[in-house]
Amino acid sequence: MAEEKITAKHVKELREKTGAPIMDCKRVLVETGGDFDEAVILLRKEGILKSVEREQRAANQGLVEAYVHVGGQIGSIVEVNCETDFVARNEQFRDLAHQVALQVVACNPLYLDPESVPTEVLEREKGVYRSQCEAEGKPKEIWDNIIEGKLKKYYQEVCLLEQPYIRDPSISIGELITQAAVSFGEKIRVRRFCRFQVGENEKVESDGEQSV
C-alpha cells in the first residue's frame, strides 16, 4: 500500500490493535506497505510493543527536575516517573529528566503529546490548513493528506514528546523516553512539565500521562 493510501483510519486501527504511539503506527505501516501483520511484527522487533505492555504497570517513583538557564530569566520543572526507587536514583535516569527539562526551556512546548491538544485548538488549525489549501488552489481530493502532513509538523512544534530532541534531532523526545524505558526495563513517563520566563503573564504548563 502506497504511503498516500495509508489513511488516518488505518493508523487508528493499528493503534487500537497494539496500543503503540500514533506516529510509530503510521511509520511501520508505511515501511510495510500497509501490511498489518508485518507492521505488528516490526513494532515487536523494535521493542515498541514491549514498551506498550509496560503501560499496565505502575510508575509511582521518579523525580522532579528543575533547570534554570544562565542569567536566571527562564526555567522549567518536569516530573519524570519510573517504577522503582532503584531506577529513580540512577544517574542515567536523572540525566534523562535533566534533558527533558532542557528541552522544555529550549523549545517551549505547549502540550505533552498530540492527545493533549484541545479539540478546539485542533479544529482551529485544521480550519487554517483548509483555507490555505483553498487559497492555493489545491485539488480537494488531496486536502486530507496535506492537512495530515501540516498537523504532523504542528505536533512537532508544540508537543513535547513529538519535538526533535535538541541534542539529537534525528529522534524525538518520545523516542528518547522509549529508548530509556527499553534500557531500564521499566515503564518511564513524562507526567507533567511547567515552563517559566521572566515577564510572561502566564507560565506554560502541561499535565499528562504519556508513558512507555
Residues 183 and 175: beta-carbon distance below 8 Å: no
Please tell me the predicted confidence (pLDDT) of residue 50: 60
pLDDT digits (tens, 9 = 90+) for 20-44: 777 888 888 889 888 888 888 888 7
Please tell me the predicted confidence (pLDDT) of residue 52: 56
Q: Which domains does the chain have, with CATH numbers?
A: 3-46 (1.10.8.10), 58-113+159-207 (3.30.479.20), 118-155 (1.10.286)
Taking residues 152-180, what's their average pLDDT?
94
Sequence-distant (6+) residues with CB within 8 A of 23 are 152, 162, 172, 174
181-184 long-range contacts (CB < 8 A, ≥24 apart) are 181/51, 181/54, 181/212, 182/47, 182/50, 182/51, 183/92, 184/82, 184/87, 184/90, 184/92, 184/93
Residues 126 and 143: beta-carbon distance below 8 Å: no
pTM: 0.69
Query: Distance between CA atoms of 211 and 76, rounded to whole angstroms?
Result: 20
Amino acid (1-letter code) at residue 171: I
Please tell me the predicted confidence (pLDDT) of residue 53: 57
Type and span of the H or E element at 54:
none
Q: Which residues pair with 168 in a beta bridge?
A: 165
Asked if residue 47 has pLDDT above 90, the reply is: no
